[in-house]
Amino acid sequence: MGVTIKDIARKLGVSTTTVSLVLNNKPSRISPETRQAVLRAAAELNYHPNQIAVSMVTRRTGTIGLLLPDISNLYFSSLAKVIESECSALGYNVLYGNTNDSVENDFKYLELFLLGRAVDAVILTPSYQLGEEERVRFRSLVESSGIPVVTVDRRMQQMEVPCVCVDQELGGYLATKHLLSLGHRRIGCITAQPNVSGSAERLRGYRRALEEAGVSFDQALVVAGNYHVESGIQALPILLGQGVTAIFAANDMMAIGVLRECRRFHLRVPEDLSVVGFDDIFLAEFLEPPLTTVYQPLDDIGREAVRQVAEMLHGETGGERIISFKPSLRIRGSTMRWAGAQETAGK
């Protein structure tokens, strides 16, 4: 069960060296005859190299670890699709882990993959910003293993690891500015936990837009969600209680929650409430109303993450570089001019 080069060698009366040389197209000048013979025998016996054995000696697995917080979030599953496809094109397989937005799971998989030398590199979306202690743990993990690690979508502060993402702050700014330009003044914001990278930046963008427009920031208009639909649902009544006329949700899932809950409250979107999301998951345009949201160039991000990994695999050094793409606003049906805008129109 399992033809080996030994079998081929024996059958042909040559050494395993010869077989290996031929099968790997090594530039050692084997006579055309033996060459053909080996090739034919390999085909006849239906030989296929045992990748484990190959990995054993070459010290590379041909596998890249991919750690994502939640594959059932359309944003991440689309990202996974791009990354897997890019990896596949480079001859790499993807070992996948769902971290459920838990730092413990981040570490669980990281240790599994890095310490076990099960992968040649890792692409991950870290769950939270690490505390000092965890930072040490992470750093020693990465350094001692010597395995390239690249972060995608979210940054790891103070870590010497390349990060591929979007300019989150700008995204938050664009979303909020759009609402402001429509005359909204009381704009709610649903963020994720403050120590999730990305979330804080999006909030910063929100604040900057407000300040620029001379609208004072009100902490009561900011509620922390968790990037899941449910937290959008829960946030809505709180924000309505604050009299908001528009909501910026830090991702599309939460925006979907808001949309959904609005119907339960018989609130029309966008007539009664404008809603902006973030990510532009591909279902966003199919919602009712089609969701105005901040587009992330997913393909670029995924492609670039793999490119970064590939570079490091080819000896390029890591280090804390940030490759940042520009997000852009996709205006659709979930936002409109605030009916009461005339009052403040003169501003």
Of DNA, its own copies, none, which one sits near residue 110, judging by CB under 5 to 8 A according to partner kind?
none
Of DNA, its own copies, none, which one sits near residue 195, judging by CB under 5 to 8 A according to partner kind?
none
Secondary element (H or E) of residue 223: strand 222-224
Under the binding rule (CB under 7 A), the answer on residue 16 touching DNA is yes
Residue closest to 32 by CA, chosen among 18, 44, 43: 18
Of its own copies, DNA, none, which one sits near residue 256, judging by CB under 5 to 8 A according to partner kind?
its own copies
Under the binding rule (CB under 7 A), the answer on residue 152 touching DNA is no
Under the binding rule (CB under 8 A), the answer on residue 102 touching its own copies is no
Asked if 245 contacts 268 with a C-beta cutoff of 8 angstroms, the reply is no
Query: Which of 210, 233 has the CB closer to its own copies?
Result: 233
Q: How far is the CB of 228 from its own copies (least distance, A)?
A: 10
Asked if 278 contacts 214 with a C-beta cutoff of 8 angstroms, the reply is no
**Residue from 23, 141, 213, 323 binding DNA (CB under 7 A):** 23
The pair phi, psi for residue 13, each rounded to 5°, is: 70, 30
The length of the chain, given as a count of residues: 347
Of its own copies, DNA, none, which one sits near residue 15, judging by CB under 5 to 8 A according to partner kind?
DNA
Cis-peptide, bond into residue 270, ω within 30° of zero: yes
Under the binding rule (CB under 8 A), the answer on residue 43 touching its own copies is no
- The beta strands (E) that lie in 85-137 are given as 93-98, 121-124
Asked if 174 contacts 212 with a C-beta cutoff of 8 angstroms, the reply is no
Q: How far is the CB of 45 from DNA (least distance, A)?
A: 11
Under the binding rule (CB under 7 A), the answer on residue 30 touching DNA is yes
Q: How far is the CB of 46 from DNA (least distance, A)?
A: 12
Of its own copies, DNA, none, which one sits near residue 286, judging by CB under 5 to 8 A according to partner kind?
its own copies
Within 10 A of 292 (CB to CB), how many other CB atoms are there? Answer: 27
- What are the residues facing 97 on neighbouring strands? 67
Q: How far is the CB of 63 from its own copies (least distance, A)?
A: 7
The pattern of x and - marking residues 46 through 85 that bind DNA according to CB under 7 A reads -xxxx--xx-xxx---------------------------
**Residue from 51, 157, 158, 317 binding its own copies (CB under 8 A):** 51
**Residue from 15, 24, 28, 88 binding its own copies (CB under 8 A):** 88
Region from 50-58, 154-162, 235-243, 339-347 binding its own copies, contact rule CB under 8 A: 50-58
Secondary element (H or E) of residue 149: strand 149-152
Region from 26-34, 121-129, 174-182, 220-228 binding DNA, contact rule CB under 7 A: 26-34
Secondary element (H or E) of residue 272: none
Query: Which of 12, 238 has the CB closer to DNA?
Result: 12
Distances (CA, A) of 229 to 79, 89, 154, 190, 194: 19, 34, 20, 11, 18
The pattern of x and - marking residues 237 through 266 that bind its own copies according to CB under 8 A reads -------------------xx-xx--x---
Q: What's the rounded Cα separation, in Å, for the pair 229 and 113?
A: 31
Residue closest to 198 by CA, chosen among 334, 98, 274, 294: 294
Under the binding rule (CB under 8 A), the answer on residue 90 touching its own copies is no
Terminal CA-to-CA distance of the chain, rounded, Å?
80
| CB-based burial, 238-271: b 16+ in 10 Å, e otherwise | ebbeeebbbbbbbbbbbbbbbbebbeeeeeebbe
Contacts with its own copies, residue ranges (CB under 8 A): 1-2, 46, 48-53, 55-56, 61, 63, 66, 70-72, 74, 77-78, 80-81, 84-85, 88, 93-98, 111-112, 115-118, 144, 146, 229, 256-257, 259-260, 263, 282-283, 285-289
